[in-house]
Structure 1
Amino acid sequence: MQLVAHYKLWLAALALAILVSCSPAQKTTDIQMFSGNTMGTYYVVKFIHDVEIDHVKLQQQVDADLELVNDLMSTYRPQSELMRFNAYKGSEPFVLSEPTRTVITEAIRIGKQTNGVLDVTVGPLVELWGFGAQGRIEQAPEQSQIDAVQPYIGIEKLTLTALGLTKSTPNLAVDLSTIAKGYGVDRVADILEQAGIQNYLVEIGGEMRIKGAKPEQPWRIAIEKPETAERSVQRVIAPGDMGVATSGDYRNYFEQDGVRFSHLINPHTGRPIQNRIVSTTVFHPSCMTADGYATALNIMDDEQEALDFANKHQIAALLVVKTDDGYIELVSEMFKPYITEQ
């Protein structure tokens, strides 16, 4: 079950440590929990509910819904809806399910808003650099190989209408790894709310949706310090009722001749990012949207461009930037209240 086995996997699994404690007792005033595997990583659901609830039935519903997302959007399942679209060579619109249409719509919106920085057509480049379903590589591709793939890259080559999704070149392939995991989080949160649960924390491999509070205090998260050799906390924050997503380049990469190549690919250059932004955390009511923005800000050419974009579009973002003297934090205007309220 791998939707994003390489794409942000280790970062997502570790970037946001959940600071909660759970009692094994199933009292309605305690934090209750269940967990499982999905999308090539783990998921955790923690909640408080003042009415007895059937945990088995609730988890079965969550598992079934996440399995549906995988069946629709996984690049690791040849018969998924997304992979069938990628294999499609016709010129007529490809009819999409409503969930896939929702994710594609948001991906195109953010892609155009960021002038193609977030680009879900970047899949062929992700594969070329060894971060996709085809597995790792040991040497960076030649520039000629990158140039051969570039004509198939570009969010403007996708068109979504009421009839379906079309691509202007038959070799174009979509990879929703940068946004679909956040969508999965939102789906699980919706299931909890439909069950009447109003105090919860949902996490899939590091991406989260949080609502309400745990007993006597808010849900808090720890943003990991972007170190490759150790695990430490950069900052602890209470997001409130928000989706939370983090993107970074310090876990999923390979090295060649002393050069580190990250899994985050700049679609304009066709190469892994070379900026000083090592981690970006975004808060947004939709985890899907937070997921997309976190990736886009991390890929932008430099930290000033990312910060200016976040301020212009009123995005709550925290950037961790590497300097000669260590790391510094840059925060957008919308993120500042989360810092001052600690």
Structure 2
Amino acid sequence: MRRLLSSLVGLILALQTFTLSAETKGDWQDFDGKAQGTTYRIRYFGPSEKLIAPDIEKRLQEIDRVFSNYRKDSAIELFNAKRSKDWQTVPSELARLVIKAKEFSELTSGAFDITIGQLLKVWGFGPYKSHSKKKTIPTDAAIAEALARSGYRKLEAKLDPPSLKKLNPDILVDLSGIAQGYTVDQLGELLEQKTIRSYLVEVGGELRGRGTNKEGKAWQVAVENPEVDSGLGNILSLSAASLSTSGNYRDYVEIHGIRYSHIFDPRVGRPIPSEFVSASVMTADCTTADALAKAFLILSEPEQKALATKLQLAVLLQKRVGKDFTSSRLGNFP
């Protein structure tokens, strides 16, 4: 569901020269690759990429083996495959992320929910995406049945020992709404463990910036306008923050000439009838930004304002007004 989100965020990085500080050793590095059905790119000041890239690749593979809904042997898919209401032992980082995701579900009154697998299946999104040219709208009965087999309160998690339990054996957990943000944080923390303080990590459009760029200034990034071929929009600075943008205008299915977005309200099981076309959330960690960016597309305007105030979030919302688009900001979004 996040494969196309890299197109939502354009990165603007100038190629300036710099003077090597007496307090630091290394050079500016820049490398990229493919992961999680999308691309990643990492820029940092420190040792050669030859010393860093192998550890990055290793960590990406570890994350994929735990969280990917696109491989049957991943920890989450092995859990999904078992129609059991017993506790199932899982990797500790999976249990931790599920606990975190459930916290976001509570904060958003269910607008963010990782137990949407059955709904994705009914609508043909994510790992259940249909490539058939003949697409149909799910019946009310099919949606109701999927909803009965969904709901974050029907999924339990604990850390000692790390385990998950389904209260409904047909629950399907989909982590695509939070896993890329988590991945960005993990790669950032890996760099910090290697005493790298200035870096920009991007995975599929999810961003985490620390320190400064070559010019000695905050990293400059830009959020794309939702209008077709409109280019880059709001330019932002990241020096100790993360940014996630979620949009409902690129990934969709078209049935009888009507577009149905891949972002739908998990509480009703249907695409959101909202004027908002994209939401960008800036906060300290990318896991939070990733999860909440989706929720802001679903929540009502009063709910959006209340959540931004409660969590002290910086949010950029872009809305369709007729044939035009307008932007509004919550919190201290630059």
Tell me the TM-score normalized by structure 1: 0.89
What are the equivalent positions in structure 2 for 1:37-76 lying under 5 Å apart? 37-49=34-46, 53-76=47-70
Matched AA of 2:290 = D
> How far off its partner does 1:276 sit?
0.9
For the residues of structure 2 that align with 1:8 and 1:250, how far apart are their CA atoms? 12
Assess if the C-alpha contact under 8 Å between 2:218 and 2:239 holds in 1.
yes
Aligned to 2:332: 334
Contact 1:208 1:287 in 2 (8 A): yes
CA contact (8 A) 2:86 2:166 kept: no
Q: Does 1:19 align with 2:17?
A: no
Deviating more after overlay: 75-84 vs 126-135: 126-135
Counterpart-to-counterpart distance in 2, 1:166 and 1:29 = 47
Instruction: Note if contact 1:222-1:237 (Cα within 8 Å) is conserved in structure 2.
Output: yes
CA displacement 1:137-196 (0-9 Å, x = unmatched): 522222221122111110110111234211111000100000011111011101111111
Question: Superposed, which structure 2 residues align to 1:195-234 within 5 Å?
Answer: 195-216=194-215, 217-227=217-227, 229-234=228-233
Q: CA deviation at 1:15?
A: 1.3
Partner of 1:298: 297
CA distance in 2, matches of 1:29, 1:18: 23
Paired position in structure 2 for 1:142: 139
In the aligned structure 2, how far is the partner of 1:214 from the partner of 1:290? 22
Cα pair distance change 1:318/1:189, threshold 3 Å? same
Equivalent residue runs for 1:1-342 within 5 Å: 7-10=1-4, 12-22=5-15, 31-49=28-46, 53-136=47-130, 138-161=135-158, 162-163=160-161, 164-216=163-215, 217-227=217-227, 229-300=228-299, 302-324=300-322, 326-335=324-333, 338=334
Name structure 1 gaps, 5 residues minimum: 1-6
Question: Shift of the alpha carbon at 1:313?
Answer: 2.6
Contact (CA 8 Å) 1:91, 1:167: kept in 2 or not? Answer: yes
Task: Tell me by how many angstroms 1:103 deviates.
Answer: 1.3
2:229 partner SS: coil
CA offset at residue 96 of structure 1? 2.0
Describe the shift of the 1:291–1:78 C-alpha distance in structure 2 as closer, same or farther (beyond 3 A).
same
Q: Secondary structure at the match of 1:310?
A: helix
What is the RMSD computed on CA atoms of the aligned residues?
1.9
Structure 1: distance between partners of 2:77 and 2:28:
39
One-letter amino acid of the counterpart of residue 214, structure 1: N
Give the Cα–Cα distance (whole angstroms) in 1 for the partners of residues 10 and 285 of structure 2: 20
Distance 1:237 1:214 in 2: 13
Within 2, Cα distance between the matches of 1:99 and 1:54? 29
Q: Cα offset for 1:22?
A: 4.8
Bigger drift between 206-215 and 248-257 goes to 248-257
Distance 1:24 1:259, change over 3 A: farther
Segments ≥4 residues shifted beyond 6 Å: none
| Percent identity for Structure 1 against Structure 2 | 30
Does the Cα contact within 8 Å between 1:320 and 1:329 map onto a contact in 2?
Answer: yes
Which letter does structure 1 place at the counterpart of 2:103? R
Do the aligned partners of residues 146 and 205 (structure 1) sit closer, same or farther apart at CA in structure 2, a change above 3 Å counting?
same
Q: Extract unaligned runs of 5+ from structure 2.
A: none
Q: In the superposition, relative to structure 1, how do residues 23 and 60 fare at CA in structure 2: closer, same or farther (>3 Å)?
A: farther
**Partners of 1:185 and 1:203 within 8 A in 2:** yes
Moved more, 96-105 or 282-291: 96-105
The CA distance in 1 between the partners of 2:92 and 2:50, in whole Å, is 27
Cα pair 2:245 2:290 within 8 Å, conserved = yes
Deviates further, 172-181 or 13-22:
13-22
1:74-99 CA-partner distances (Å, limit 9, x unpaired): 11110110011111223321122122
Equivalent residues, number:
323
CA contact (8 A) 2:246 2:278 kept: yes
Amino acid in structure 1 at the alignment position of 2:313: I
Q: TM-score, normalised by structure 2?
A: 0.91
Work out whether residues 199 and 212 of structure 2, in 8 Å CA contact, stay in contact via their aligned partners in 1.
Answer: yes
- What CA distance in whole angstroms lies between the structure 2 residues aligned with 1:313 and 1:33? 33
8 Å contact kept, 2:27–2:48 = no
Partners of 2:169 and 2:28 in 1: how far apart?
50
Matched-pair contact (CA < 8 Å) for 2:15–2:214: no
